[in-house]
Amino acid sequence: MIDVTYLKNSICRIRMHNPRSRESLMTRYNILRTEFPPEDIEPFCQTDGQTLTLSGEGYTLYIALDCGAEGGGFDISLTLAEGERLFGLGDESRTCVMKRGRIAQIKQENVRSYGPVPYVMSSRGWGLLVNCTYAHTFDLGKSEADKLRIYSQNGALDFFVFLGGDMREALRLYTDVSGRPVMLPREGYGLTFVMNEDASARTLLDDALRFRERGIPCDILGLEPSWMSKHYDDTTGKKWNKERFYLPSWQPENYYGGWSFIYNLNKMGYMLSLWLCISHDLFWKEEREAGDSDIQTDGTEDWFEHLKKFVDNGARAFKLDGSSQVIPFPDRIWAGRYTDDEIRNIYPLVYAKQMKEGFQAHTGERAMINTCGTYAGTQKYAATWAGDTGCTPAVLISLMNFAMCGHSNTSFDMTAENKASIHFGFLAPWTQHQGWDNWLYPWYMDEDTEETYRYYARLRSSLFPYIYSYAHTAHESGLPILRPLSLTYLENDRYDEVFNEYMLGDSLLVSVFDNHIILPEEDDWYDYFTGERHAGGSAFDYIPPKNRGGALFVRAGSIIVTQDRAHSLRDYRPESLWIHVYPGRDADFTLYEDDGRTYAYEQGEVARTKISLRGGKLTVGRREGSYEGMGDATAFKIVLHAGGDSRRYVVSAKEHAAGEVTIELKR
């Protein structure tokens, strides 16, 4: 029997109960949201017991169902329209973004598939999330051109359907259920620099000072496995490596004070990140919290308990290495009841969940957690990076595919080895330089490379108001910071094969690796570096200016808010911001501010300033909303860019505090 549950308008959950199949761990552990405030819902799904007919906005979906054999499993078949394009599925492939015409395995595998996500969406505006943790298969029109088929030999038939008007709306609905992208702490949107594994407390502090002396903004310094007394210690008994990172033996284990190297690092404006590996049984804790009174514990300590002392020492970020979290343990029984094939896909997800929730409960602050293992819902717990796969064109495709699943805080291992990597790394949603096994530090390179690195680190710092505002947009709507062109220009299938260009927010177009540029034809574009204006549809081989690693364009008709660069972001609250206006059409931008540290933004403690361009007039709205610690109103310095020329205007803090200000921009 088919059970259709309407969660809210345009979202329903569909299940076919098999007495031998149990509830998916995704819903058992409250990872997927299944309860919403009551509302009047007009039924949009009809069923005859084996098929479904769902009425969307200008389209109808026809889905056939098979509950599988007595032992479990399912088969879902959906009829595809001619010309319909399919996207999503996360990091299961790094060869394409548009997925129709291929077969995809939703199976967590080290390096090959770090982050499969069982979510697919259509260019027509619908999306479908399979509520299954076992490995399963998406046949996306490969075997039958007009059929999307999803099947598995294990698990119950259980999935969610989202009926949006377009793909952006589908992402909003999908992240209503799977969770909106989390806001990282302010420092998370600056530079994270992971030290060479040979680092010690002294070299860590020396390099921290060197960043400051050389004028390179940096916010987080990360330690690799050598911080632990036992290399690659995946147990709950890990301790500091006393030879490298000594803490006073006469102080308590959770000491933080003037005798600690972390104290000095913090005083310099840095956050410390610690590398972790794991093979811990996380599921005893999840089962207890799921309310199973019959669960028998083996006495295993909850994972985050042993990390509290390191947080008390001053660590404020954790890098969750792939290590054992993405490696199968076929003979292991988890929480005394689950086989590895049932939990393998979500082990990294549960890991991120417990890290985020443990850190929040212990400190009341946002966690800077980043992981390479991903599944549906990881976006609400942690940032991700593309694992131990370096900086290649395939990595960008990975980030694009995550974007098509509403995952916003994505990055990869940048190095200073070449300018293209620097360009891409500093123009990703968050930035991580990987120094684990190399000495490719900017000051150990040639002068041109160091100057390139310094320029981009400063650019990153200055773009913070813009990037942070789009991080808030992602949290509110599910629309990610980094977007494939297909998610910006929804109707144009020509962008499905563009793998060297992406949008960063609404206004910035980034090109990496391949400098043959074809600018999207729907808009005109300004070269961010030179100010030159280009017509939409222009095709040319781009030659980056000196000490640049690729192209960066601004869409004509854009508002970009920046700040003067700072050596670190944590406590920097400038008295004035820059508003850069690129004319071409009407434009809107909302500047978001919050405390940058806690989860109070989830309760609405956010300040917003709406800025709009209508014709030749720029309007800066009153700052609406508040948060604890909010300072006085901000002054704005306005720059009108016009093809290499510019004019400047000023809105004082007093004018901004008084209310809406409109300025006529004269060219």
Mean pLDDT for the chain overall: 95
Residue 203 has pLDDT above 80, yes or no: yes
Region label for 642, one of left (φ > 0), alpha (ψ between -120 and 50) or beta (otherwise): beta
Residue 287 has pLDDT above 90, yes or no: yes
Alpha-helix runs per DSSP H in 259-304? 261-267, 283-289
Q: Which CATH number fits domain 186-474: 3.90.1170.50, 3.20.20.80, 3.40.50.1820, 1.10.357.10?
A: 3.20.20.80
Give SS3 for 512: coil
How far apart CA 471 and CA 480 sit, in angstroms, is 7
Residue 2: how many other CB atoms lie within 10 Å: 17
Local confidence band at 666 (pLDDT 50, 70, 90 cut-offs): confident
Q: Which whole number is the average pLDDT over 243-247? A: 96
> What values do phi and psi take at 396, rounded to 5?
-60, -40
Instruction: Look at residue 50 in the predicted model and tell me its pLDDT.
Output: 86
Q: Which whole number is the average pLDDT over 463-483? A: 98
Report yes or no: 352 and 255 within 8 Å, Cβ to Cβ: no
CATH number of 2-178: 2.60.40.1760
Structural fold of domain 573-664: Immunoglobulin-like (2.60.40)
Instruction: Look at residue 296 in the predicted model and tell me its pLDDT.
Output: 61
CA diameter of the chain: 74
Q: What is the DSSP string of 564-583?
A: ---S-STT---SEEEEEEE-
Q: How much of the chain, in percent, has pLDDT values that exceed 90?
A: 90
Instruction: Look at residue 1 in the predicted model and tell me its pLDDT.
Output: 78
How far apart CA 558 and CA 649 sit, in angstroms, is 17
Q: Which whole number is the average pLDDT over 111-139? A: 96
465: buried, middle or exposed (CB in 10 Å: 19+, 13-18, 0-12)? buried
Instruction: Look at residue 647 in the predicted model and tell me its pLDDT.
Output: 84
Domain parsing of the chain, residue ranges: 2-178, 186-474, 573-664
Instruction: Look at residue 120 in the predicted model and tell me its pLDDT.
Output: 98
Numbers of helices and strands, H then E, in the chain: 14, 40
Q: What is the DSSP string of 576-628?
A: EEEEEEE-SS-EEEEEEE--SSBSGGGGT--EEEEEEEETTEEEEPPPB---T
Q: Residues 4-54: pLDDT tens digits? A: 999 999 999 999 876 667 899 999 999 999 999 999 999 999 998 889 999
Local confidence band at 295 (pLDDT 50, 70, 90 cut-offs): low
Kindly report each contact of residues 199-208 with a partner whose C-beta sits within 8 Å and lies 24 or more positions away, as own/partner: 199/223, 199/224, 199/226, 199/244, 200/243, 200/244, 200/245, 201/244, 201/245, 201/246, 201/261, 202/261, 204/261, 204/265, 205/261, 205/264, 205/265, 205/268, 207/441, 208/265, 208/268, 208/270
How far apart CA 180 and CA 168 sit, in angstroms, is 13
Is 573-664 in the same CATH topology as 2-178? yes
Of the candidates 91, 27, 568, 30, the residue with the CA atom closest to the CA atom of residue 371 = 91
Of the candidates 136, 122, 27, the residue with the CA atom closest to the CA atom of residue 92 = 136
- DSSP β-bridge partners for residue 79: 147
Residue 188 has pLDDT above 90, yes or no: yes
Local confidence band at 436 (pLDDT 50, 70, 90 cut-offs): confident
Residue 614: how many other CB atoms lie within 10 Å: 11
**What's this model's pTM, rounded to 2 decimal places?**
0.97
Q: How much of the chain, in percent, has pLDDT values that exceed 70?
A: 97
